Amino acid sequence: MRDEILTYWEMCAREKGSLQRGMYFREPPAVSVVLMSRRPGAPYEDSLSDDGTELIYEGHDVKREPGTDPKSVDQPWMLPSGEPTENAKFAGAVELHKASKPLIRVYEKLRPGIWSDKGLFELLDYEYKEMGPRKVFKFRMRLSDAPDDIVPRDQVDEFKRAIPAWVKQVVYKRDKGRCVLCGAQDQLHFDHELPFSKGGTGLTPENVRILCARHNLEKGAKIQ
């Protein structure tokens, strides 16, 4: 919903994935996602009109590598693997879908962990232009009058219950691959310390731990 204030995890739940970068292209008619910021020190120069209907969104830089300043290198069309970048996917969508105008969900960062849903925008055009010593992408978007549907509550709950792969990796390393109660190393399970039914989530390592099958079953039997 436009101008709704969301936590980071609520935003991820709505988009049914962990949002770790700023641009997510989805082949139309699916809705793509961009994350923007106009806060001091923001890494990109995004600008939104005063009435919130016109957005100029800057493309993204090359990945930071030792000895490379991303701000001195042209924003890339291709990844080292030869696959197109998100920049290239969005630019290609402009060319391929001129009539239908691909839809983009825009979220703006207000402060750490807090975001604002700016609504659905139509992707209209882009430039790949000289900005100082390099070339950058500038995507032009306009607020859409398409229906602004909300993800159903059951889909949000399903996402919050799931334990993402990155959380499992952090927890497995932290708990040394053992049951935190008895040290067993076989028949292990990832457990919500505060159960989902009581408001717990699998989206953060702090609420996930490793239990062996026996202790996991014993815990389940005690939950009222």
Question: What residues contact 113, with CB distance under 8 A and at least 6 apart?
Answer: 7, 8
pLDDT of residue 68: 84
In the chain, list all ranges with CATH 2.30.280.10.
Answer: 5-150
CA dist., res. 76 & res. 64, Å (int): 12
pLDDT band (50, 70, 90) for residue 222 = low
142, 122 in Cβ contact below 8 A?
Answer: yes
Reading the block at residue 217, the tokens are: 């079953």
**Does the predicted model carry a pTM greater than 0.85?**
no
pLDDT of residue 167: 83
Burial 64-87 (b: 16+ CB within 10 A, else e): eeeeeeeeeeebbbeeeeeebbbb
pLDDT tens across 64-118, in order? Answer: 888 889 999 999 999 999 999 999 999 999 988 878 899 999 999 999 999 999 9
In this structure, the number of other CB atoms found within 10 A of the CB of residue 190 comes to: 16
Q: Which residue, among 116, 206, 222, 109, has the nearest Cα to 163 in the 3D structure?
A: 206
CATH code given to domain 5-150: 2.30.280.10
pLDDT for 157 beyond 70:
no
Angle subtended by helix axes 153-161 and 8-15, to nearest 10: 110
Question: At which residue do the structure tokens 């390393």 appear?
Answer: 173
CA dist., res. 72 & res. 62, Å (int): 10
